[in-house]
Every structure is written in structure tokens, then in C-alpha cells.
Amino acid sequence: MTDPVLPPIGMLAELTHRCPLQCAYCSNPVELLKANREMDTAAWIALFEQAADLGVLQVHLSGGEPTLRTDLNELVASLARRGVYTNLITAGIGIAEGRIEALADAGLDHIQLSFQGAVAATTEKIGHARGAHEKKLETARRVRAAGLPLTINAPIHRHNMEEVPDFIELALSLGAERLEIANVQYAGWALLNRKALMPEREAVERQVQIVGEAQERLRGIMAIDFVTPDYFAVYPKPCMGGWARDAFMVAPDGTVLPCHAAATIKSLHFERFGDWNLSRIWHESSAFNAFRGTDWMREPCRSCDRQEIDWGGCRCQAMAIAGDAAATDPACIKSPLHERMAALIGEAIETATSDAFVYRRIGKEVETSV
Ligand code: SF4
Ligand code: SF4
């Protein structure tokens, strides 16, 4: 049965692809947009107004590094005026003194600060930037001094997985309310670097145990969210809570997508804000309607009792592994391609090199560093 199209609740706004770091696990597209392709202040504010009219309750301001937008205060204030909850997702590098206080004054509700490693050497190696760790620690202190709630975000892969206990101590020492330990999702630059990033199953299992024990021990002190890797799972996750179901993302140039990796599905056409208004995109875009609800599903999803739990999993992963975005997510044990996915991962781990990365760059030849 066709589901009614409900209003979206959340929006991820990728304000820019510019970033002072060059993380090898970055989920931004490999073809990054330069600054001259970014929407201007007026266009972003018009988009936020329409998002609020449509029902959006929370906006995650991301990038790239969103604090590189000099108009960030104005953008935050425009959302605060409409009562929309704002979360700033930042790498915490090069933020001028007084900027965080100014953002809090503009109405910012929350800051999520990423750490590439729990120690300086790892942060510098993964992010490819000297002195990055100290700057992040200083940003965390300023966030707390400004009275804003703080989440520490720790993207995990084979090069920092053993630092999970240190990430927990780091987040506690910084006074974070929440720690998100998220196994890297293999999209964008992370997909390009998967051979160097994918952990072994035993390491993932150790990490699951450590996080589970910490969640118990720190109950009521600090919340720990744990995003497990779905390539070792039995069933997939409900990617974005279901395709075009309650959230969407906007690229720096105003292209509106159901998720950040959706552009890898080349058969879909994505509208740009300005060419169409946001309500029309949400309700009528062929890309948004392509995998909405359950009508598009084939077997084994079509007759599966989990179809409204995981919504068939991730369309981009189906595209990447099965070569067909409408296939059952190969992460699912019921997928005829589940074995192929395991083989692909096995090959990646077998041939993994210890620290050879293709670092994320805008408008330059990518380089491999060993
Ligand atoms: S993952 Fe790293 S490179 Fe990508 S936007 Fe975040 S801080 Fe920048
Ligand atoms: S068959 Fe489809 S709906 Fe059922 S668990 Fe697998 S991915 Fe989910």
C-alpha cells in the first residue's frame, strides 16, 4: 500500500565542502564543490524558511566545515527565529575567539565536535593537519564555557579502533553530554579508502563489548550512542529512517537529496532549490519518490515482516555492491548478494595496507600518503 507522504522532521545542510582537514574517511562526495558553487546567504535563508513551513524541526549545519561560512550567525539566527533546533557539526579547527559565544547568542542549540583520534598523533594522521588535536580541545573548552551542550563524535575505523576506551575518557574529561562512536560508513572518500580503513571482525567485536560495558557504567553520566558497522550485521539499518521518509539533505549548491550518498545512484535526477521550491521537491521529485515507502520493493523485501523496520536498508549500498539501487541491501542476510558483500569485505581486509590513504582534497589531484 502506498504510504502517505508525511512532512520531514530533520534536515542536514551541507553549507560548504571547504574544510581545513582532509580526512580519509570523509563521507563527502569525491567530486567536491568549490566555494563559488555554494548558495549565498539569501538562498540558504529562503530554504530554511521553506523547511520550517514544511515542518522541519531540527537542522544539522554541516559541511565540510560550516564555520568557514562567514554568514553562519545569520543562518543560525534565521532558524532560531522560526523555533527550529540547530546543531552545528564542526571539526573545531580555526574557530576565532568569541565566535562560539556569538553563535550561542544567535540561538545555536547544540555543538557536535568530531575527533579523528583520541590522541594528537592519530588526529593529525587521519585529518592530515598538524596541531589539529590541541585546537579541538580548545574548541571543546569554549563550547562548555559558552554553556552549549556538547557531543563528541568519534568516527571509528581500523586506524583508531583501539582508541575507543581513550575516546570515552576524552569525552568525559571534556564534559560532553554525549559521545557518538560511529563506525565509518563507506561512502565518498571512505569508499575510496575502504581497503585502508575497514577493521577486522575481531576488532569490531572487542569494541562492541567495550562500548556496551561503558554504556552501563556511565548511565546517567554521559550517553554513548554506538553506530555499529552493518557489513558484519545480519540485517541492515533503516538508512535515514527510510528513503525520503522524515529527513533529507541539501548540498552546498542547493541540490536536495534523500541522503548524502544518493548522488552515487546515477539513474536518479535530483532537483536544486531555486529551480523547484522545497515542498515540491519533497512531494514530487522523482528521486524522492523512487524508493519511498514499500511499493518499490522486490522479493525478499516484498514479503518480509521487517520491511517497515529497516525499509529495505540502504539504497546506495545496494547500488555500490549489487549495481542496482532497487535490490535488497546486500548487508541483509536474506539478500542473494550477502555472500558477495562478505567476499568484497574479505578482499578489502586481506589486501589492506596499514596507513596508505587518499586524502580528501578540493580541486586538486588526490595524493596517497604512506
Ligand atoms: S570528515 Fe574530516 S574532511 Fe570531512 S568534513 Fe569532516 S572534518 Fe572535514
Ligand atoms: S529482506 Fe529486506 S525488509 Fe527484510 S530484513 Fe532484509 S532488507 Fe530488511
Q: Which pLDDT tens digit goes with each residue over 189-229?
A: 888 888 888 888 889 889 999 999 999 999 999 999 998 88
Ligand 1 site, residue 360, Cβ cutoff 6 A: yes
Residue 55 CA to residue 10 CA, distance in Å, equals 9
- Per the listing, cell 555472500 goes with 339
pLDDT for 357: 82
The residue type of 315 is R
Residue 304 CA, distance from chain mean position = 28
Q: Would you put residue 189 in left (φ > 0), alpha (ψ -120 to 50) or beta?
A: alpha
Nearest atom in ligand 1 to the alpha carbon of residue 155 is 1
Q: How many CB atoms lie within 10 A of CB 101?
A: 15
Residue 301 CA to residue 242 CA, distance in Å, equals 14
Nearest atom in ligand 2 to the alpha carbon of residue 301 is 2
Record the cell numbers describing residue 340, joined without a space.
558477495
Averaged pLDDT, 65-72: 97
Indicate the pLDDT class of residue 355, thresholds 50, 70 and 90: low
- Separation of CA 228 and ligand 2 centre (Å): 18
- Cβ atoms of 67 and 228 closer than 8 Å: no
pLDDT for 168: 98
Nearest CA to ligand 1 atom 1: 26
Ligand 1 site, residue 23, Cβ cutoff 6 A: yes
Record the cell numbers describing residue 115, joined without a space.
575527533
Test site for ligand 1: of 114, 125, 160, most ligand atoms within 8 A of the Cβ: 114
Give the number of whichever ligand sits closest to the CA of residue 315: 2
- Separation of CA 57 and ligand 1 centre (Å): 25
Ligand 2 site, residue 310, Cβ cutoff 6 A: yes
- Separation of CA 292 and ligand 2 centre (Å): 15
pLDDT for 370: 36
Peptide bond into 252 cis (omega under 30): no
In percent, the amount of the chain with pLDDT more than 90 equals: 72
pLDDT for 103: 98
- Separation of CA 89 and ligand 1 centre (Å): 10
Give the number of whichever ligand sits closest to the CA of residue 25: 1
Ligand 2 site, residue 307, Cβ cutoff 6 A: yes
- Cβ atoms of 281 and 288 closer than 8 Å: yes
Record the cell numbers describing residue 313, joined without a space.
536498508
Supply the Cα-derived Rg of the chain in whole angstroms.
Answer: 20
Q: How many CB atoms lie within 10 A of CB 6?
A: 11
pLDDT for 229: 81
Nearest atom in ligand 1 to the alpha carbon of residue 62 is 5
pLDDT for 365: 44
Nearest CA to ligand 2 atom 6: 332
Test site for ligand 2: of 237, 294, 306, 341, most ligand atoms within 8 A of the Cβ: 306
Q: Would you put residue 369 in left (φ > 0), alpha (ψ -120 to 50) or beta?
A: beta
Among 38-42, 272-276, 277-281, 336-340, the minimum mean pLDDT is found in: 336-340
Ligand 2 site, residue 124, Cβ cutoff 6 A: no
Residue 151 CA, distance from chain mean position = 14
- Separation of CA 59 and ligand 2 centre (Å): 29
pLDDT digits (tens, 9 = 90+) for 145-198: 999 999 999 999 999 999 999 999 999 999 999 999 999 988 888 888 888 888
- Cβ atoms of 180 and 186 closer than 8 Å: no
- Cβ atoms of 10 and 58 closer than 8 Å: yes
Q: Which residues contact 53 (CB under 8 A, 6 or more apart)?
A: 279
Ligand 2 site, residue 204, Cβ cutoff 6 A: no
pLDDT for 317: 86
Residue 10 CA to residue 141 CA, distance in Å, equals 28
pLDDT digits (tens, 9 = 90+) for 221-260: 999 999 888 777 889 989 889 999 999 999 999 999 999 8
Ligand 1 site, residue 237, Cβ cutoff 6 A: no
End-to-end CA distance of the chain: 53
DSSP strand E in 75-204: where? 85-90, 110-114, 150-156, 178-183
Peptide bond into 64 cis (omega under 30): yes
Ligand 1 site, residue 184, Cβ cutoff 6 A: no
